Amino acid sequence: MAKKFKKTKLATAISIAAVSLGLSATADAVVVVGGDNGWEVSFDGNINAFYTLTDYDAGFTTLGYVTPGAGGFGQGNTAATTAVPELDSARVTSGYLPAFFSFNVKSPTVNGLTATGRISFAPVIQNANAKNQFYPSALGGSNGGVQGFQGSGIDTREVVVNVEGDFGTFSFGRTLSIFGRQAMLKDQTLFGVGAPNKQNGSISAGRTGRGYTYPNFNARFSYKTPNINGLQAEFGLYDPSVEQNPFNTGNGTLLNETDTPRFEGELSYTTTFSTGSFQLWMDGMWQDIESNAPGAAGDVTVAAVGFGADAKMNGFNVLGYYYTGQGLGRSLQFVGGTRCEASGKNCQEADNDGYYVQGSYTFNGKTKVATSYGQSSEDGFAAIGSDGLNTFAMAATQDVELNMWTIGVYHDMTSWMKMVAEYSNLENEYKSTSTFSSGKTEADVFSLGAFLFW
């Protein structure tokens, strides 16, 4: 094949999902390799690094799952928890986005059909707070459960195909899930740090659990309708998830049977005008999970719906997002939002809701100043007592609220270099019950960073 190199405008260079998600960035070009038969191959990606200073109160955890133990204000949902000590931290890490290297292929158009394929690899730059990445495995020990060399492993985010025609877009493979996707992609901390990654070797948490729940990258089939006067819908059939509950002490994964897929969808309306644009969207998801424990009849339904609006005019941008659901989890979807007693019976879903609002102004098309506030709440589980024959003794748990406000400056030095300064204040608040006292724990995060895009 004859090789032809050219530069093309890339409207979605730094996507953490498929290019079709429409996440724009500052890159202007990629290298495209073309041939006479109409096939094209291109590459895009980023490398980023942040210097982050963080002051953690005693008991603070980034995703809010582990609460202070004895001597604090209750153990929340765990049977035995030691309070996390106060900590000051200075690190050099990747931000909410990892680095990316993405390989794209585009087919010629045949019978009105055009296919694109995308594979994205996403490493981070830091180890798990360890100078020597080979320790302790080099001495015959283990890496403490961290895959790769304490954080230097490669995460395969996307392996996805989109087939487009007059009928719309049919897609299959692995990419970012629909529910919560728009909220995450529009979050200012996407190009920053947000909630810190403390001492581990992974990305930071951005606004995860403090205005939306993390949708994650999942395998699915999906269909997106054509855009009809700004109105568009997308529906996905997903590989289902089992319960992941850090509070099931000793019980393991009780909700582990998934005989139906997960369904997710989004309906959006977008209009543009001479000085800006406006978008409304609604997203949602639904899935059943059952227990296959002998004699168990336990099951839960995890379901949620969200609503968002995004308005842009003359450099100003205001957006908001709200969601509500059950069994969803307070930060990561399907983590901690459900529980069963030890036999797999008497299963419960916790109620969840959250929102965030964000405003920004961009000067001269290059420097954006933005601020945002958001929170996510999870109601406590009710006590499970006796059915007359058995005593289950599952105590009621606390309501939990996680919130964060952020201010940041995001400056495009060139079409391929972005500089970032960001400050965030985070709170984890635990409500009082008959068993536990109320209280809160905080963290303050300041970060400076840089991106290279191609």
pLDDT digits (tens, 9 = 90+) for 293-327: 776 678 899 999 999 999 999 999 999 999 999 99
Predicted structure pTM score:
0.86
Cis peptide bond upstream of 196, omega within 30: no
Contacts of 263 (CB under 8 A, 6+ apart): 235, 236, 237, 238, 285, 286, 287
Q: How far apart are CA 340 and CA 184, in angstroms?
A: 30
User: What Cα–Cα distance (Å) separates residue 58 from each residue in 75, 120, 259, 354?
Assistant: 14, 38, 42, 25
Residue 81 confidence (pLDDT): 43
The CATH code of the domain at 4-131+141-453 is 2.40.160.10
Provide DSSP, 90-135. EEEE--SS--EEEEEEEPPPBTTBEEEEEEEEEE-S--SS-SSTTT
b/e map of 351-382 (b: 16 or more CB within 10 Å)?
bbbbbbebebebeeeeebebebbbbbbbbbbe
Bridge partner residues of 101 (DSSP):
45, 121
User: What Cα–Cα distance (Å) separates residue 224 from each residue in 42, 171, 177, 272?
Assistant: 24, 8, 13, 20
Residue 397 confidence (pLDDT): 83
Q: How far apart are CA 262 and CA 35, in angstroms?
A: 40
Residue 197 confidence (pLDDT): 81
Bridge partner residues of 386 (DSSP):
391
Cβ-in-10-Å burial (0-12, 13-18, 19+) of 150 comes to buried
Q: Residue 20: helix, strand or coil by DSSP?
A: helix
Closest among 171, 292, 182, 185 to 238, alpha carbons compared: 171
Question: SS3 sequence, 66-82?
Answer: CCCCCCCCCCCCCCCCC
The terminus-to-terminus CA distance of the chain in angstroms comes to: 24
Please state, as a whole number, how many other Cβ atoms lie within 10 Å of the Cβ of residue 75: 23
Residue 15 confidence (pLDDT): 42
The domain spans of the chain are 4-131+141-453
Task: Flag residues of the chain having pLDDT under 50.
Answer: 1-29, 70-72, 74-81, 143-149, 250
Q: Can you read off the two tokens belonging to residue 250?
A: 């000793």
Q: Residue 351: helix, strand or coil by DSSP?
A: strand
Closest among 372, 442, 447, 374 to 208, alpha carbons compared: 374
